Chains A and B, each alone.
Chain A
């Protein structure tokens, strides 16, 4: 076991013991059926050039001095390939995606292990002990970091869970289907917010429509807008249909007027109509925050009929735990929860067990007021009505609290001072 920080800078000598340079980098390659890259070549910084020497020419790598099998000039040429990973150049000090912890982290060191005569990359060190090792203070690290002596691998991530981000090269996601797809959209969104432009583009290409829509919903609308800027209109329209109408409206509001009109034209008529309605409201008012995907039923139904009806309409709804009761003009007259419904007798009329005093907010109410209502009454969602008590939608708790509870420091700092528009 060795760390790359301990190897670089070591002298490299040829068969006669003549020093030809110092070790600068290791070239590793991923082989099929094996999750860890195997070191295939070493980069030696010679007097005036960098030599790439195949690993087969190296007698011993994990040693105080690296010796080679032949004399200088007699080395076979290394067959460089596109998917070669230069461990120092591409990985060390760079950001990687830790797919296990769903976060973007910085590589402080790289751990190498000898397996069957090969050197493989076993772990990347993203912990503080890696930083101490880099500056030659390993002993100090074991004193001040609790538990390090017991677990020397603390802060290390196995390469199985590493997705390197490689600048100026297309990112090849190893197993996008299972590694990234397993992540929660909100984790994906966090990762995206840490990537560079070229990386985000490629990252998004690896997601399917549903994932894209779900992930975009977790990102701030102004940044969403910049992500879809270079996508084809048809694709964006498909994504918008997948998104809930309120999120779709927020995104459209951020796009240039003519583009958002085009996109609405491309969208399915019914979805587009809902979104258009939401676009009329200011984005931080109840009208702007609400979604029209709620469930409502008529007051003349019985509990039994209501359950049947819910099975039909519940699929599309963002939240079916609250069932709203509206009259023919869509006036909000009552609400009941799924618990109320299940506990009621099958023949009981919904008007008998529904709550008639419904807490609601007005279309024009601001986000902080809605958040207060939601937290005061411990609601999962609050209905939005106009001045005539006609129901227009619901604001779910997460949308109401979204902008009030900051998600991370990186996003929080600009929030203190207002981001640039």
Chain B
């Protein structure tokens, strides 16, 4: 810690304007970026349905998910800091083309699912704001493309500001709903206070997978390396980055915690089944009153837009690492073209998927985020294998806790995935 402080102090003293920037960074730093990016519209929808269907006991799962998020993101960050190669780069170099195609396929499917949820959230918003859905979706897609070509950090920051304000609304609402704090907090330690019926356990498993998959995302594992890429490895930056990733994991789930508490204390307690955006908006009614619906619509719209940018970008980014796009695939097929095509193609496929009628945002969120969770062990396998390697990582290879915690949870996720699939297939 003292090392961290001295780094900050040095920066502060050197440049008075940095003082302001450092202050800003503590709010809008990478930690916040991770938090904002992780809690996209899929996140809001999944946490909402988790709180509404399961109540406080899902917080128990959230507790472990937070630690796993911190541990795995730190691995990804450390991997890139030490090797200056992204996760995708290293998978390609150590495991070859076939494995790369396989992993990329998994990532692509998971990401397509997530993008579909973001678009589905936008569709839900359009209904809440009384705008023709397809027109609205098309408009947003156009905006997303403009953002990619013309956007900058300032604009990103403003959107993130809106999203974070939206999360703060959940915190205030959670407090104003006067939840049973004792019950909520004790559920972080052990799940209790509900009747463990067969249906409840089934829901807990499926939605729990959704919560896992929306909090720890396959794309997040590839995304983190883009932050680490330009930094030079030394013990100071490593310590700082480790602190930042753990802080980011905490912050992500700090918001998630209040989202679940807010929905649990309004919807679950009153036995309201979550099916529409209006119902989800009830969770922020204690704060927003009759404006809850509108506020929810704008909040989830901003969150969806953020996801709509980041997730397809992460696919394109991983693609370039896996297959060496910086060297351009073919001489006449230049780099940016492939990027744009990949980006737009994902949006178009997702847009086609949401035209399928009769699927609600919340069902889709749980389904796709569970799918995300099932891809995770695949990514973790390589992440753990690479960061375990002392040949690659030197002194910075995983320690016992990192290795075993991540491995044990990867195995648990595989088991949970299998049971979830069986549960769904055989209607247990």
Contacts and interface: CB of A to CB of B under 8 A. Distances in A.
A134 interface: yes
Interface string A293-332: 0000000000000000000000000000000000000000
A145 B97 contact: no
A226 B236 CA distance: 12
B324 A420 contact: no
A327 B231 CA distance: 46
Contact of B10 (A145, A227, A257, A414): A257
Contacts of B93: 93-94
Interface string B55-87: 000000000000000000000000000011100
The contact size tier of chain B is: 35 or more
A210 interface: no
A409 B244 contact: no
B232 A126 contact: no
Contact of A196 (B13, B85, B226): B85
Given A127-B329, A135-B98, A227-B232, A253 B324 contact: no
Contact of B234 (A223, A229, A282, A411): A229
B184 to A, nearest CB: 32
B326 A104 contact: yes
Give 6 closest A-B pairs by Cβ, nearest first. Answer: A105-B327, A226-B232, A106-B324, A196-B84, A134-B97, A128-B329
Contacts, number: 129
A292 interface: no
Contact of B15 (A106, A253, A414, A417): A253
Contacts of A145: 330
A48 to B, nearest CB: 21
B426 interface: no
B339 interface: yes
Contact of B14 (A103, A253, A410, A420): A253
A105 B324 contact: yes
A273 interface: no
A9 to B, nearest CB: 12
The contact size tier of chain A is: 35 or more
A98 to B, nearest CB: 7
B331 interface: yes
A376 interface: no
A419 B227 contact: yes
A229 B15 CA distance: 20
A222 B324 contact: no
A417 B148 CA distance: 12
A256 interface: yes
Nearest to B333: A128
Contact of A106 (B33, B153, B327, B330): B327
A417 B84 contact: no
A147 B330 CA distance: 11
Contact of B84 (A195, A253, A420): A195
A215 interface: no
Given A197-B233, A413-B313, A131 B97 contact: yes
Given A134-B97, A155-B330, A416 B241 contact: no
Given A104-B326, A416-B152, A420-B29, A409 B320 contact: yes
